[in-house]
Amino acid sequence: MKRILLALCAVSILPTTLLSESDWFPAVVVMIEEEYANIDTDLTAPQLAEKGIVHGKRFNARFKDHRMNVFLGKDYSDVERDEWVALIEQAGNLQIAISFGHAATKINCAKGDTVYIQELGNPEDNKD
């Protein structure tokens, strides 16, 4: 019983950012690219910037049980092979991909699904 109370006390003093789901915002999957299974979303570059996600920064993405640390780059070569990368595609929307991989296949998402995005609050999290 003492261990349970101690654990509850420890959880109650954690910063709310660790406990809150409100840090995550939705990105609806509008298309899966056929050749490489890149995930095209409805989020625009200005919407991402409002949340602090800009080129050269990392962010978290999640879909069901899958959590990804994604680098918002300008080109697939901004990350190593098999790493998660995001680009702003020609229409101006967020695309999530894996360099030389198949993102949608890996996490089993489809058009109409919702992927959740979260800014990384700690500057250390944005280091390569």
How confident is the model at residue 21, as a pLDDT?
A: 58
Give φ, ψ of 14 to 5 degrees. -65, 145
Q: What is the pLDDT of residue 120?
A: 86
CATH topology of domain 20-121: Elongation Factor Tu (Ef-tu); domain 3 (2.40.30)
Distance CA 53, CA 120 (A): 8
Q: Where are the domains of the chain?
A: 20-121
Structure confidence at residue 100 (pLDDT) = 96
For residue 17, the model assigns a pLDDT of 38
pLDDT, residue 5, reads 40
What is the predicted pLDDT for the residue at 83? 98
The pTM of this model reads: 0.78
The residues of the chain scoring below 70 in pLDDT are: 1-22, 122-128
Among 92, 109, 84, residue whose Cα is nearest residue 33: 109
